[in-house]
Amino acid sequence: MKRTIGIIQSRGLGDLFIALPIALHYREQGYEEILWPICEEFMTTMTQCAPWVTWIPLKTTRDGSFFYHHAEKNLKYRGCEEIICLYQFLSNMPELTDPDLFPILKFDQTKYAKAGVPFKSKLRLPECIQRDPVAEATVYKATVTNPKYIVVHLEGSDVRMNLDFSEAEAAGYQVVNIQPGVTDNIVNWLSVIEGAEELYLIDSSISNLVDGLDIHRNKWFIRRSKMDLTPVLLSDWQYFPLASLGK
């Protein structure tokens, strides 16, 4: 019988990048199939960059049942009995919270602790994803017009920051904004990101991708959440001063 494990972490995209090395760990432990239900909006990116995982699309619901109940139902329907839930906390299911881990670990550390995987494995993301050089070149050609450029990403799922980059532009830099509509797979931005002289990234899926891939650039992390909801960054970051954002 095929050895199968199911992962419950239906959103968001940054969390999926954070947790993907956990799936790799299970694969190396001999699991032949890794089932992972996720919100359907993330399916294109995840099926393209990590086709070795069996991704299952979930529709979002107002009552939040897609976070756990729909994911569990999908896994059990497929005969999966070994299931790991990576959430630190769900308001409608407080019983899933580990009272010993919750006060001392951040949300990303909790995922690895619950999975029994060393947290340093978070930096194994390069082993987890498949890149598309042709698609990356298309994004580069569509967005970069000056070899001297910086990359900014200031919009998350529920917030948008406004920063002034007029000094950089006056110094001859192109400001390349990572934005929707250029590609349906955010991993295809990687060539643009790797070619930039500097990165200014809000706490989001892009910054989690950059951190997990350990991309070495002069890069600034722009915090937007409380301490417990801010990831533990393992790469070399500078932290953008919140005073500059009026916070």
* pLDDT at position 244: 56
Same domain as 61, residue 43 = yes
Examine the domain organization and report whether 95 and 118 are in the same domain: yes
Q: Do 139 and 103 share a structural domain?
A: no
The predicted model scores a pTM of: 0.93
198-202 and 218-222: which strand pairing? parallel
| Range(s) of the domain holding residue 27 | 4-128
Is pLDDT of 110 > 60? Answer: yes
More confident residue, 159 or 126: 126
Arithmetic mean of pLDDT over the chain:
93
Final residue before a domain boundary, out of 128, 156, 174:
128
Whole-number pLDDT of residue 158: 67
State whether 9 and 87 are in the same domain.
Answer: yes
Question: Residue 56 pairs with which residues in a beta bridge?
Answer: 37
Q: Report how far apart, in Å, the C-alpha atoms of 47 and of each of 57, 102, 133, 185, 198 are.
A: 10, 31, 16, 9, 29
Does residue 108 sit in the same domain as residue 190?
no
Q: Which of 94, 109, 128 is the last residue of a domain?
A: 128
Per mean pLDDT, which range of 67-71, 141-145, 153-157, 172-176 is the poorest?
153-157
Q: How confident is the model at residue 180 (pLDDT cuts 50, 70, 90)?
A: confident
State which of 128, 157, 178 marks the end of a domain: 128
Residues 160 and 229 in one domain: yes
27 and 83 within one domain: yes
Task: Based on the fold, state whether residues 124 and 225 are members of the same structural domain.
Answer: no
Strands (E), 145-237: 149-153, 174-177, 198-202, 218-222
Please give the pLDDT value at position 100.
86
Please name the residues in contact with 138: beta carbons below 8 A apart, sequence gap of 6 or more: 183, 188
Query: Average pLDDT for residues 214-232, to the nearest whole number?
Result: 89
**Within this chain, do residues 65 and 137 fall inside the same structural domain, yes or no?**
no
Domain total of the chain:
2
Do residues 101 and 138 both lie within one domain? no
- Residue 91's pLDDT band (cuts 50, 70, 90): confident
Mark whether 39 and 97 lie in a shared domain. yes
Q: Helix, strand, or coil here: 229?
A: helix
Query: What pLDDT score was predicted for residue 245?
Result: 55
Q: Which amino acid is at 235?
A: S
Q: Are residues 122 and 14 in the same domain?
A: yes
